[in-house]
């Protein structure tokens, strides 16, 4: 018998933190920060609900802050075990965690220091996809989650032969850059994300067309197109997409500003990661295409250059972080351009409840930025299909591969409505026993 306890990532999309207690080992899966709103701040700042010194191993699914953001806090609070992830996840985590402490983009600034990040990295080992590794009592194998570079699903095989998979975040295949999500069959237990558990994305053809239309219309109006983008994966996808549209001359080559020092560092990692991309992207690379660079792309690293963009006239595109407008340079551009009716703001990713991005995306006409009331006259557009998360149908079909063997599915990492809807679908359509996980609750796993 083992126990699964959901300390985070249950009842909401962020803050993934799951404890698997075996008879002789305590294993953590992800140690993420909650994002968005006051409750998230409280969660991130409070003591862990378990003793970090009692944890033997931490496995990390991928490098998003809501999966890694509290790792240095865990180490600071006494964790002395080993950390494991893919090599790209470790590389990206180093960049994101060091950025988090420096800039105060998140709660990290008050929770730990760069030294704690470096101590975490000294405990951090890497694993390769599809190479099972024994840990005494269980083996772990990583499968490609197709979500962001380095993202992995963790498949545990216990001594009895029973298996359990932690999905982490599951990608929205086909992705512009990454290989498709790997289907894993024969599972006994599954803990599955449910960010889009209650919704399906627009069709792929539609999302490409809509993106092109929004960009073309914005250029025709001569205004500024703001694209708040996650620095990790989404920014690289947008660059690759714009690269295609400019090179094929489908769009006039207006200035594009990549205004995110963090995205720049991450893009440099992507430029060295061709072997982890899908076949199409690898073929383009072999043909000598740079994927992430084009003539009219201007990289902005200094803040005064960032402010100078705001004075510019004529059509332009600004890609900046953070993806939910909770911090970062996009916020300054929003304050400047949202009151201008020639501007457009384009949302291409999930906007968590409580964030500025969510307010604007929902059409609120007056928002508060840096204590000032900003009126929103810009056109608000949304292309949902680019989400990095599998939609409801894709999640159901992911679980269906193990339909015959699954004893229980734990639905996590979604807002309650999404998780409940997905659990209901898994029950009704596949006949599975699916439970919606609750924060702090303990679940028995028969091994």
DSSP string, 269-310: HHHT-GGGS-HHHHHHHHTT--SS--TTEEE--SHHHHHHHT
C-beta of 169 vs 182, nearer to Zn ion: 169
Find how far residue 245's CA is from the centre of its chain: 25
Judged by CB under 5 A, which stretch of 58-66, 303-311, 351-359, 416-424 contacts Zn ion? 58-66
**Interface characters, 97-116, with Zn ion (x: CB under 5 A):** --------------------
Cα separation, 79 vs 81, in Å, equals 6
C-beta of 224 vs 419, nearer to Zn ion: 419
Residue 243 within binding range of Zn ion, rule CB under 5 A: no
C-beta of 77 vs 327, nearer to Zn ion: 327
Residues that contact Zn ion, how many (by CB under 5 A): 2
Judged by CB under 5 A, which stretch of 56-64, 190-198, 330-338, 397-405 contacts Zn ion? 56-64
Residue pair 21/5 in contact (Cβ under 8 Å)? The answer is yes
Least distance from Zn ion to the Cβ atom of residue 347, Å: 17
Cα separation, 240 vs 233, in Å, equals 10
Judged by CB under 5 A, which stretch of 51-59, 61-69, 339-347, 353-361 contacts Zn ion? 61-69
Least distance from Zn ion to the Cβ atom of residue 352, Å: 12
Least distance from Zn ion to the Cβ atom of residue 55, Å: 22
Residue 234 within binding range of Zn ion, rule CB under 5 A: no
C-beta of 81 vs 168, nearer to Zn ion: 168
- DSSP secondary-structure letter at 107? T
C-beta of 64 vs 408, nearer to Zn ion: 64
Judged by CB under 5 A, which stretch of 78-86, 162-170, 248-256, 313-321 contacts Zn ion? 162-170
Residue 64 within binding range of Zn ion, rule CB under 5 A: yes
- DSSP secondary-structure letter at 385? G
C-beta of 81 vs 150, nearer to Zn ion: 150
Least distance from Zn ion to the Cβ atom of residue 32, Å: 9
Q: Of 64, 90, 33, which is closest to residue 234 (Cα–Cα)?
A: 64
Residue 244's SS3 state is helix
Judged by CB under 5 A, which stretch of 64-72, 173-181, 281-289, 410-418 contacts Zn ion? 64-72
Least distance from Zn ion to the Cβ atom of residue 64, Å: 4
Q: Of 94, 90, 41, 50, which is closest to residue 74 (Cα–Cα)?
A: 50
Least distance from Zn ion to the Cβ atom of residue 174, Å: 18
Judged by CB under 5 A, which stretch of 62-70, 203-211, 275-283, 366-374 contacts Zn ion? 62-70
C-beta of 234 vs 408, nearer to Zn ion: 234
Cα separation, 60 vs 141, in Å, equals 12
Least distance from Zn ion to the Cβ atom of residue 189, Å: 21
Rounded to the nearest 10 degrees, how much is the dihedral formed by the CA atoms of 14, 53, 121, 264?
20
Least distance from Zn ion to the Cβ atom of residue 62, Å: 6
Sheet strands (E) in 175-214: 189-193
Cα separation, 363 vs 196, in Å, equals 21
ω before 322 within 30° of 0 (cis)? yes
Say if residue 24 is exposed, middle or buried (CB neighbours under 10 Å; 0-12, 13-18, 19+): exposed
C-beta of 188 vs 391, nearer to Zn ion: 391
ω before 19 within 30° of 0 (cis)? no
C-beta of 64 vs 155, nearer to Zn ion: 64
Cα separation, 150 vs 273, in Å, equals 9
For residues 335-354, which are near Zn ion according to CB under 5 A? Answer: none
Q: Of 226, 153, 158, which is closest to residue 381 (Cα–Cα)?
A: 226
Judged by CB under 5 A, which stretch of 60-68, 216-224, 240-248, 363-371 contacts Zn ion? 60-68
Query: Tokens 């939609």 — which residue?
Result: 391
Least distance from Zn ion to the Cβ atom of residue 232, Å: 8
C-beta of 223 vs 228, nearer to Zn ion: 228
Least distance from Zn ion to the Cβ atom of residue 145, Å: 9
Choose which of 94, 141, 144, 169 interacts with Zn ion (CB under 5 A).
169
Cα separation, 105 vs 27, in Å, equals 29
C-beta of 147 vs 155, nearer to Zn ion: 147
Least distance from Zn ion to the Cβ atom of residue 420, Å: 21
CB atoms within 10 A of CB 47: 9
Least distance from Zn ion to the Cβ atom of residue 208, Å: 22
Judged by CB under 5 A, which stretch of 44-52, 163-171, 300-308, 404-412 contacts Zn ion? 163-171
Helix H or strand E segment including 19: strand 17-21
Strand-pair partners of 346: 381
Q: Of 309, 308, 319, which is closest to residue 243 (Cα–Cα)?
A: 319
Residues 6+ apart with CB under 8 A from 221: 315, 342, 344
Residue 339 half-sphere exposure toward CB, CA atoms < 13 A: 12
C-beta of 144 vs 169, nearer to Zn ion: 169
What are the residues binding Zn ion (CB under 5 A)? 64, 169
């Amino acid at each position: 018998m083992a126990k699964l306890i959901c300390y985070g990532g249950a009842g909401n999309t962020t803050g993934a933190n799951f404890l698997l207690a075996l008879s002789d080992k305590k294993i953590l899966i992800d140690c993420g920060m909650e994002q968005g709103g006051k409750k998230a701040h409280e969660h991130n700042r409070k003591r862990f609900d378990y003793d970090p010194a009692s944890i033997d191993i931490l496995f990390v699914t991928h490098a998003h802050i809501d999966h890694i953001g509290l790792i240095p806090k865990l180490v600071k609070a006494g964790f002395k075990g080993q950390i494991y992830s893919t090599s790209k996840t470790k590389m990206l985590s180093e960049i994101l965690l060091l950025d988090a402490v420096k800039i105060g983009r998140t709660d990290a600034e008050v929770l730990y220091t760069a030294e704690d990040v470096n101590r975490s990295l000294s405990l951090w080992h890497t694993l390769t996809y599809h190479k099972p590794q024994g840990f005494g009592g269980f083996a772990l194998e990583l499968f490609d989650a197709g979500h962001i570079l380095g993202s992995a699903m963790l498949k545990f095989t216990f001594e009895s032969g029973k298996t359990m998979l932690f999905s982490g975040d599951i990608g929205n295949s086909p992705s512009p850059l990454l290989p498709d999500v790997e289907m894993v069959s024969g599972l006994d237990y599954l803990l599955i994300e449910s960010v889009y558990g209650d919704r399906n994305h627009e069709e792929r053809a539609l999302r490409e067309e809509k993106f092109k239309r929004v960009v073309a219309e914005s250029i025709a109006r001569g205004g500024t197109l703001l694209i708040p983008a996650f620095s990790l994966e989404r920014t690289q996808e947008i660059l690759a997409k714009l690269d295609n549209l400019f090179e094929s001359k489908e769009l006039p080559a207006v200035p594009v500003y990549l205004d995110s020092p963090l995205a720049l560092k991450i893009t440099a990692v992507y430029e060295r990661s061709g072997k982890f991309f899908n076949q199409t992207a690898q073929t383009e690379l072999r043909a000598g295409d740079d994927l992430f660079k084009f003539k009219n792309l201007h990289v902005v690293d200094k803040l005064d250059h960032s402010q100078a963009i705001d004075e510019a006239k004529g059509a332009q595109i600004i890609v900046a972080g953070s993806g939910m407008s909770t911090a970062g340079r996009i916020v300054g551009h929003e304050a400047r351009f949202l009151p201008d009716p020639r501007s457009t703001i384009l949302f291409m990713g999930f906007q968590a409840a409580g964030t500025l991005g969510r307010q604007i995306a929902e059409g609120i006409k007056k928002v508060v930025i840096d204590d000032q009331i900003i009126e929103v006259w810009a056109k608000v557009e949304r292309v949902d299909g680019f989400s990095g998360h599998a939609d409801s149908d894709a999640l159901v079909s992911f679980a269906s591969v193990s339909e015959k063997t699954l004893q229980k599915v734990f639905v996590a990492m979604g807002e309650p409505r999404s998780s409940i809807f997905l659990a209901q679908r898994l029950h009704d359509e596949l006949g599975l026993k699916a439970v919606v996980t609750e924060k702090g609750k303990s679940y028995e796993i028969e091994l």
